[in-house]
Structure 1
């Protein structure tokens, strides 16, 4: 079966994601409401919005972000709060996507659009994953789907530790709200989570340098890239299963309310920003899920077409899109991406071992 060229498919996904998130926010008035709240430093309910730098353009931009997340993180019972549950599912899925951006950056840091992982993460943290993740996926499929450079030993061995750092960043968004911190501390957690990707690259390089200096002592992991994906993928899967179980076990929660977008639920009034933010992340979750399925389809299709070796052909023909769909349906998009990338690394390791023996 001939697949649609990735440029057209992923561009269509990105365009639809942009319309679903930003154009709807303009049409339903929630974007203007968020801008007004940030402009006046006041939430719609009258509570104060914190300032951070004293430089108005920066504080205004960060304020829009904080107003957006305010409704998603503001509840007396967050674990029975549908927007919070979906946000946790999406953010942990994006932790896997963030690991992917770092891995691909470290494959080739000199050229190509897959460099600068902090840029990609900041972009989907602020502008939404519905348009940014398909764009990154398009570049991945077009540049790395078949052949991609390897990583240096030190960079590869540092990845499991950076994966833990990714999870810590995600936890920083949720921990203050779950612990009942005061509103200003919750606002700070949004800013920390948003800006933290800037520190991930330096953290990776620092750990890599430490591993290089202790190479005679530290033996490392057998397949560190797969380990890194397994760490973030497992946590993403656990959170996804928790959200599903919480939703189905609690009669006050609804699966459709958590995952299925309902634009008509966004109405003028005190819940305008809250409902619009939920709609925004619902479209983000759907588009991330679709992008991961599309990546898998192109990767599998490319391997079947090339059939570069009988072993590679066996590995990938036994990994059909239906299996990827099953993993994603049960364990969520983050776990599906981690599984897909781990499978790719196992194939790479086997091929490298065979080439050394030849």
Structure 2
């Protein structure tokens, strides 16, 4: 299978390339596509230097799979071109997530939606992925009716410029002056504002968690979701405090067993144990801890959920989708 990465020079694009190095189904070097500004950069892959090329109308000819991580505008322009050239596009932007013809996929939950032919598959939002990974098995076991979330999101989710801004502000604190990426100083701070204002009191990131979670779980307004999304001065790794209300009483020990049996989760059963964003950085799993009953209701459950936003929150989920598509094309089981 011949593939490309559009946005190969970015944080997520480089993470995709690193993860693809160990994929046995990928036997040919991927084509690295970027904007004109980044064209000519060299990036290592399996010990060889690959040169980034400027994306153009013929870039996708002869390819079967395209991984996109270059922003919504770029995706809206080039994903149809890649699809029409015969590619299955896995897009990491928000451009196609609510498109009814583009499945929104977390492979452990709804990987059966991945087809083998040309089309566009949307990679969910980074925070949504890790939260829904914890919610899905509990929904299947206990029937989740409410999900209330507060996220603590790393600056790498806003790109390389955001990482550099936090580094600069941390070095120069408290006299760092205004930044270009965040609306207020990010160093030693917490900002409850991610994305644009949606007009109903929410910010865009909070709306994404609501609508994407419902779509991934094939639920509607019967699943009540609220989210307060915050940006914190962490380089890599999103965290989330999650409160669930289920149809029936939930024993935290039974909930931990259900979670531990679900692929891709690492679970701590001690209600006082947990993982941190720093510990999750550089790994592909989603970590669930602090599992305990809501003191206000026997149907309530409290969780702490952590994952690397660049890996399972973006690059690894996309590579898993690619892996599933490659298996479908060859007739093998995913991961074989």
Give the shorter-chain TM-score range.
Answer: under 0.3
Structure scoring higher RCO (CA < 8 A, sep ≥ 6) equals: 1
- Structure with more of its chain in helix, by fraction: 1
For normalisation by structure 2, the TM-score amounts to: 0.25
- Structure with more of its chain in strand, by fraction: 2
